[in-house]
Structure 1
Amino acid sequence: MFLIERRKKILEFLSSQGKATVKELSSFSGVTEVTLRNDLKTMEEEGLIKRFHGGAIISEQVDPENFFSVREQKNQNQKSDIAKRAAELVTNGQCILLDGSSTIREFAKLLKTMPVRLTVITNGIYTALELRDNPLITVILLGGVIRVGSTALEGTLGTNILNQLKIDIMFTSASGFTIKDGLMDFNVYEVDLKKRMVESSAKLVTLMDSSKFDTSSLASFAATEQMDILITDNNAPAEIIAQLRNMNIDVLIGE
């Protein structure tokens, strides 16, 4: 198990169990207790956990709801329906940009089965891996930093590529959305990258299930006015949908 993946699994285990001993975590992760203690020391320094004699607990500052593996399981049916509607917007020869969210990974699972030639740029590691086996799709992975609990590369280290290609559509999701604040995410480093991604794209398509509406998160990466198309499910608030349509934003419902 790779270092980042191992530490992500440790966090998920602590989140589900509340606390665990070094022996339990060592057995779970398949590494020696010496290696495990080094992991825990680093994770404590990063503010992810708190150690006690012989074990560890997850830090109060860490929200398990933000772990990719947790988000991926939420509203699975809605995400699948939304992804199917988004696939209708893809045409042969496009260059598209995908973020690293769990909703967009669901979209990528559909793309990899489509007989369409595409160039796909993404900061999502799992998203890139989903698409790698389709010979018609050229995948470009944006460089950046990966943190524990995430499967997306963050930061603006690899954004020069965005200036070198004509990007037809960016497909994105968000952890929260309000008319006032626009599309929001919980990680400030990924927000910086997603801002650059939005600015580099000719069109912005948002895939967002109804649970994200009228929900705030840490920081905004796109104003409501920057959205061209929103794809959501039929439980989305009718009042907000009407407001968006009055702003000339196309709203599509995945069914």
Structure 2
Amino acid sequence: MSQPQGVKVDRLEAIRSHLYVNGFSAIQDLADAIGASLATVRRDLQILEQEGSIVRVHGGARIAEGSSVEMAFQAREKRNLAAKRAIATAAYETLQPRSAIFLDAGTTVLQLARLIRISPIPLRIFTNGLIVAQEFLNIPNLEVTLLGGQLRSENASLVGPQAEAMLDLIWFDQLFLGASAIGSDGAIYSIDNGEAHLNRRMLTRSAHCFVLADATKFDTMATYKVAPLTEAHVITDSTISQKWRAHFDDNGIANTIVEAGANG
């Protein structure tokens, strides 16, 4: 007797979530994790591969990486991946159905985009990130708007006066912002002036700002100042120093500190 459709959907979701958290997994590991037979898992993986969620490789599977454009900053994206995924998971838990959110073009924010792709909820999403936008192709319940502007190839992002003009016509419930660096002065910095200028404009158009930054971004510097951390809720990982934990407390900076698992 065939299983109810809901059971199948739950099983597919369980597989996607397992691969997101653990990275590449063998078919036997997936079967053990979700309590299904090898034959059932193989059929489910075929369905997930056809919809573009996963890639089957070497007797197992992994989450699909997206398009070839992503290769331009693949090395940076994979740095501290476990921390970025844990941060993204905490950010995902703040989302409210049918709200309007902005996702910038940062690599940690990209992990949040991938989590939304895996477990979509009704959202109006705005972004200036080409790779972020590509994550949402053919995903139900999402209304996605990509800002226009000048292409910044290094970050696959759109910046400049056109992008800023679009922002003036939009209001977001939540902004999710990455950071090139967070200086010892407690401010967010960017390596690009156009990106920094656009980020500052984003802050004026959102009710709540979340900065998604793993601990390695702290006590580093880049050229262009964006804003002080006091304007945001910081989500970072548990390797953040005691000095920075005290800085959050002393300056009333809202923060969430997450445990990062092993890289997958």
TM-score for the superposition, normalised by structure 2: 0.68
- Aligned match of 1:254: 258
The amino acid that maps onto 2:157 is A
The 5-angstrom pairing of residues 1-255 of structure 1 reads 68-180=73-185, 182-227=187-232, 229-255=233-259
Give the distance between the partners of 1:232 and 1:239, measured in 2 at CA.
Answer: 14
Deviation for aligned residue 1:190: 1.0
2:130/2:156 contact within 8 Å kept: yes
Contact map agreement 1:146 1:153 (CA 8 A) in 2: yes
Aligned partner of residue 165 in structure 1, secondary structure = coil
Q: How far apart, in 2, do the equivalents of 1:149 and 1:202 lie?
A: 29
Structure 2: unaligned runs, 5 residues or longer: 1-71, 260-264
Query: Is the partner of 1:170 in helix, strand or coil?
Result: strand
Following superposition, the deviation at residue 192 of structure 1 comes to: 1.1
Matches of 1:79 and 1:219, distance apart in 2: 23
Helix, strand or coil at the partner of 2:226? strand
Task: For structure 1, list consecutive stretches of 5 or more residues without a partner in the other structure.
Answer: 1-66
Determine if contact 2:167/2:202 at 8 Å carries over to the other structure. yes
Q: 1:181 Cα shift?
A: 5.2
Name the CA shift for 1:183/1:151 in 2 (closer, same or farther; >3 Å): same
Work out the number of aligned pairs and report it. 188
Residue 179 of structure 1 and its aligned partner are, at CA, apart by 4.8
Question: Identity over aligned residues, as a percent?
Answer: 30
**Are the aligned partners of 1:180 and 1:224 in contact in 2 as well (CA < 8 Å)?**
no
Q: Would the aligned equivalents of 1:181 and 1:220 in 2 still touch at CA under 8 Å?
A: no
Contact map agreement 1:112 1:133 (CA 8 A) in 2: no
Provide the C-alpha distance between the structure 2 equivalents of 1:181 and 1:247, rounded to a whole number of angstroms: 10
CA RMSD between the two structures = 1.5
Contact 1:132 1:139 in 2 (8 A): no
Matching residue of 2:10: none
- TM-score, normalized by length of structure 1? 0.70
Whole-Å separation in 1 of the counterparts to 2:93 and 2:153: 34
Deviates more, 1:89-98 or 1:178-187: 178-187
